[in-house]
Amino acid sequence: MGMALDCAASAARIGEVPVGAVLVDAGNSVVAKAGNNCIRSNDPTGHAEIHVLRAAALKLSNYRLPQTTMYVTLEPCAMCAAAMVQARVKRVVFGAKDPKSGALVSQYCLGTDGRLNHRFKITGGVRSEECSNILKDFFKGRR
C-alpha cells in the first residue's frame, strides 16, 4: 500500500485526483503501478486501476491476470471493479472506502457477486487514514 500511496501522491502533484494502484504477482513482485490520469489525458477511463491492468496485461502478454493482487488507495468504482473481474484478479486490497461510488463494499459488491463469472477476495481499510487524508488534503487545497 505504501507504493500505491506514492503513486497517489504523484498523481496529486500533477493535479489529478490522488488515487494510486499497484498490481503484484503471486511472488509479491510488482507487475505494474500507476496513479490516476483522467484530467491530463482527457480520458474518463484513466483511473489508476485501469492503467495498472492495461500495463500488466501488456507486460505479461495476457489479458487474464490470475494469481495477482491489486493494491489501491481508494475503494474501486464500478468500472474498475468490473475490469478486475474480467482480468480475473485474485485479490483486491484497498485503503479508504468510497461511500459515494465504491463498488466493492460501499455501494455495490462486484468483487463477490455470485452472478458474475469471477469473484475475488477483498481486504479493505488498509492504511485507510493515510489513504483518506491524501484525498481530503487534495480536495481541501482545490476549494
Cell of 74: 481508494
Catalytic-role residue among 49, 75, 129, 130: 49
What is the rounded distance in angstroms from the CA atom of residue 83 to the CA atom of residue 64? 10
Catalytic site residue 130?
no
Helix (H) / strand (E) containing 33: strand 30-35
- The distance from CA 66 to its chain's CA centroid, rounded to whole angstroms, is 16
Closest CA to 31 of 3, 62, 53, 56: 56
Please list, in sequence order, all residues whose beta carbon lies within 8 angstroms of the beta carbon of residue 6, skipping any fewer than 6 positions away.
Answer: 20
Residues that are catalytic? 49
